[in-house]
Amino acid sequence: MKNEINEINNTKILRFILTVSIGFAIGGVIAYLYKIYWNPYLFYITGLHVYFKLNYQFIDFIPFTIWGIIGGLAIGFAANKDKKLYMLLGGIGFGIGFAISVFFGVWSDWSSGIGGAAGIIIGIFEGISLGLYYRNSKSIGILTVCGAAGFGVGGIIGILTYKVTFVIVTKIISNELVWLIMNLTAFIVTGLIGGAALGYGIYYLMKLSGK
């Protein structure tokens, strides 16, 4: 009986973490596709290119915010509650984290993923924002560590995956599709690892707080 209960609990934990992990991976894909296909148009349609000399990096917080929103939605689905609140907190955390990483100069561009330094900063603010759901410093601290570790490691492995994908894919495809596949792979890996770390932390806090 005890073994059966443990198996059920392990299944619940795994399902929760996988849901959040996949959600952040999907968010990374959508954010990247939005950035390369819609952000430039938004920049020109609004006329902002006139004032910012063709540099539209400053509005890249939009796809990052979308990434966080989708990740938050996945958390809401996994927890089966408060989807809108998790989406709000997820979007705020990613958007602010991206803005801070740009401000401190650790964000360069979208090529090869977000990288380790930007991943840590984005993960920190995502963790802080999601931790506010539990309204105590311990929860914020736990999710801050989970976010920083998950997206920091995820960012580094994402870059390595980008390079490995380049070696493999260029032997099969030899056009611009290569770069799309490479970058999407990096963002998927980053989202999977970062989401898994946050998912584990949130599940732990849910059980701890009874929420």
Helix (H) / strand (E) element for 210: namely: none
Span between the terminal Cα atoms of the chain, in Å: 26
- Give the model confidence (pLDDT) of 103-127 as tens digits: 887 876 666 568 889 999 999 999 9
Closest Cα to residue 190, out of 102, 94, 100, 96? 94
- Residue 204 lies in domain: 2-209
* Alpha-carbon 129 to chain mean position: 13
What is the DSSP secondary-structure string of 193-210?
HHHHHHHHHHHHHHHHHT
Tokens 């979208």 map to which residue? Answer: 110
Instruction: Say if CB 199 and CB 150 are below 8 A apart.
Output: no
Domains: count for the chain: 1
Residue 89: the pLDDT is: 98
Per residue in 130-139, pLDDT tens? 999 999 999 9
Whole-number pLDDT of residue 127: 97
What 3-state class would DSSP assign to 135? coil
Strands (E), 36-174: none
Query: What's the pLDDT at 96?
Result: 95
Predicted local distance difference test score (pLDDT) of residue 43: 57
Q: Which residues of the chain have pLDDT under 70?
A: 1-8, 39-58, 108-113, 174, 210-211
Going from the C-alpha of 52 to that of each of 19, 58, 106, the distances in angstroms are 39, 9, 21
Predicted confidence at residue 53, as pLDDT, reads 47
89/210 Cα distance (integer angstroms): 20
Strand ranges in the chain using DSSP code E only, listed in sequence order? none
Radius of gyration, CA atoms only, the chain: 18
Q: Left, alpha or beta for 115 (phi > 0: left; psi -120 to 50: alpha)?
A: left
pLDDT of amino acid 42: 60
Q: What is the pLDDT of residue 45?
A: 55
One-letter amino acid at 43 equals F
